[in-house]
Structure 1
Amino acid sequence: MSDQPSRLQQFMDEASIRNTIARFADSATRADLAMFYSVWADDGEFIIGQAPHGQYSKGADNNVALLHKLRAGKEFFVQFALPGVIVIDGDQATTRTFVHESARGPGEKYYRNHCIAFDVLQRSGDDWVFKSRSFQYLWLDTEAFSGTGFPLFPAA
């Protein structure tokens, strides 16, 4: 019974980490820059793929600027994230998140991928924030796809 408080803390930490991953996907999908800022450590690193499609930024402000640049002119964008195994070591955690994204725009630009995000998070009060988030492509498609994108409801 003596380890029940530590097991409860681990459960709460894992839930908070999953919430951080969900807030990342939600804020990227909705281009909510304030929420996106809130998931980063001040010096957090954001790495997306490798050349020729690679992107890199460091620092919460720069990470928000990178998202703003990547979302500019998108008629449609969605990110789905499935957290994998979470390993917590004190005030730091690592996880792999399995991600799928689809986007169209600006113009006739198309983008779909499957990737793994290799995440390092750090405790920030009762929450967790990304110290590093590195997306490694497993599959990338930039060919045209069919379908119709719809704007989000105004209250969303």
Structure 2
Amino acid sequence: MNDFQEIADRVEIEALRGEFTDAAMMRDRARLAALFTPDGVLRMPNVPVEFIGREEIRTGGERLQAQWDFFVQNSHPGVIRLDGDTATGRTYMQEVARMLDGRSGLNFAVYHDSYRRTPKGWRFTERVYEVKYVDTTPLRGFAPGPDAQAHGTGETGDAGPASEASGADAPATGSADDFGAPASAERLDRAVAALRANGFAAELLDDAAAARARVRELIPEGASVFTGASETLGLSGIAQDIEEGDRYRAVRPLVLTMDRATESDRIRRLVATPDVFVASVAAVTETGSLVIASGSGSQLPACAGGAAKAIWIVGAQKVVPDLNTALRRVEEHALPLENVRAQAAYGQQSAVNRLLVLNAEPQPGRGTVLLLREAVGF
């Protein structure tokens, strides 16, 4: 091998390692997977995970990144040893991360690499991730931006200042008053940031199928689960997953078999204090509040605090700028559609007899909002 070829190989391998870090930071798992040979392997024994082949590397990485609130990876070049069309090397890492469940910390690690020359350039045949140091001290910082001031109210549970900080400079987009249209990516990001600042665990997912899979991960097997009446749960298949089969102790099917005249007290207790409450909402504001409307009020105790855990699945069309717009959405959009459903299901019209606004979650980790990028339900 001549000196020019060796220099070119080293430059290309350095670029490959830099591309990996960039793809990880940009959450571009398809691009990251393409940096491996078709039979390439990504091993992380400390996690522990092992992904074999590009498809596993892509899908497995997507599952891992879905758990991040934020993630920053700094890579430092290490040794490269060339051997014809193959090579080995190491890359040193410093990473800072916070998970959606509140866990956070930093670590130092090293990637032990194997590379191969291909017709499309150098690719990883194997990356083995070895953690050298971990510090799980809770991180106190946040990503600067238009929502930065909102993080200051997370411990108090007071959503007033947070609402002003995260929403004052957020003019309504063209779809803000189109209550059936999905919100823009910018407005979805703003809502997620505000919800997290107000104590909710908030995740942004692509669609109802992703929410369905995530709900299954969030609810432990054997838990008692009460499902609120919701088009979103029905259309996504989440209600069917919970209420059929024996994975959970589903409250709603049980209550429907009980005598309301003689067992009303037991019914009340069952629906008010389940292990997990799952439903949707009428609106979520870009200032981090949830708005729930109800005709009977039966689901509100569990929603407000009676359930040990609560999960709300929310379509992108339910994001509105502020509380005033949320109340208009209830009256002008959700109620007319709910009337149609109620007449078909119960033979009577619905009404907004009770209205619950959750401005913050004082018990971190209790309430999870799965906000979708697509419109689901009404």
TM-score above 0.5, yes or no: yes
The one-letter code sitting in structure 1 at the alignment partner of 2:24 is A
2:25 — aligned with what? 29
SS at the partner of 1:10? helix
Superposed, which structure 2 residues align to 1:45-60 within 5 Å? 45-50=41-46, 53-60=47-54
Count of aligned pairs between the two proteins: 146
The one-letter code sitting in structure 2 at the alignment partner of 1:38 is A
The one-letter code sitting in structure 2 at the alignment partner of 1:49 is P
Residue 112 of structure 1 and its aligned partner are, at CA, apart by 1.7
Tell me how far apart the structure 1 counterparts of residues 45 and 91 of structure 2 sit (CA, whole Å).
Answer: 14
More displaced 10-residue stretch of structure 1: 55-64 or 138-147: 138-147
More displaced 10-residue stretch of structure 1: 94-103 or 119-128: 119-128
The one-letter code sitting in structure 1 at the alignment partner of 2:31 is M
Residue 129 of structure 1 and its aligned partner are, at CA, apart by 0.8
2:4 — aligned with what? 8
Residue 47 of structure 1 and its aligned partner are, at CA, apart by 0.8
Residue 141 of structure 1 and its aligned partner are, at CA, apart by 2.3
TM-score (norm 1): 0.86
The one-letter code sitting in structure 1 at the alignment partner of 2:44 is I
Residue 67 of structure 1 and its aligned partner are, at CA, apart by 1.2
The one-letter code sitting in structure 2 at the alignment partner of 1:63 is I
The one-letter code sitting in structure 1 at the alignment partner of 2:132 is L
Tell me how far apart the structure 2 counterparts of residues 142 and 69 of structure 1 sit (CA, whole Å).
Answer: 21
1:8-41 Cα distance to aligned partner (Å, 9 max, x none): 1111110110011001101011101221122111
Tell me how far apart the structure 1 counterparts of residues 6 and 120 of structure 2 sit (CA, whole Å).
Answer: 12
1:140 — aligned with what? 134
Residue 101 of structure 1 and its aligned partner are, at CA, apart by 1.2
Residue 55 of structure 1 and its aligned partner are, at CA, apart by 1.4
C-alpha RMSD of the superposition: 1.7
Residue 85 (structure 2) pairs with residue 91 (structure 1): yes
2:170 — aligned with what? none
Whether the aligned pair in 2 keeps the contact of 1:20 and 1:39 (CA below 8 Å) is: yes
Whether the aligned pair in 2 keeps the contact of 1:116 and 1:138 (CA below 8 Å) is: yes
Residue 93 of structure 1 and its aligned partner are, at CA, apart by 0.6
The one-letter code sitting in structure 1 at the alignment partner of 2:29 is L
Tell me how far apart the structure 2 counterparts of residues 149 and 71 of structure 1 sit (CA, whole Å).
Answer: 17
TM-score (norm 2): 0.37
2:72 — aligned with what? 78
Q: Which protein, 1 or 2, shows the higher relative CO under an 8 Å CA cutoff with sep ≥ 6? A: 1
1:75-103 Cα distance to aligned partner (Å, 9 max, x none): 21111111211001011110011011111
1:119 — aligned with what? 113
Tell me how far apart the structure 1 counterparts of residues 135 and 89 of structure 2 sit (CA, whole Å).
Answer: 25
From the superposition, tell whether residues 76 and 135 of structure 1 become closer, same or farther in structure 2 (CA, over 3 Å).
same
Identify unmatched segments of 5+ residues in structure 2. Answer: 146-185, 187-378
Tell me how far apart the structure 1 counterparts of residues 134 and 49 of structure 2 sit (CA, whole Å).
Answer: 15
1:36-81 Cα distance to aligned partner (Å, 9 max, x none): 122111111111133xx32111101101112111110422111111
Residue 150 of structure 1 and its aligned partner are, at CA, apart by 4.9
The one-letter code sitting in structure 2 at the alignment partner of 1:78 is V
Decide which structure has the larger Cα Rg and report it: 2
The one-letter code sitting in structure 2 at the alignment partner of 1:7 is D
2:56 — aligned with what? 62
* Percent of matched pairs sharing the same residue: 27
Q: Which structure shows the higher helix fraction? A: 2
Whether the aligned pair in 2 keeps the contact of 1:47 and 1:56 (CA below 8 Å) is: yes
Residue 135 of structure 1 and its aligned partner are, at CA, apart by 0.8
Tell me how far apart the structure 2 counterparts of residues 16 and 150 of structure 1 sit (CA, whole Å).
Answer: 34
Stretches (4+) displaced over 2 A: none
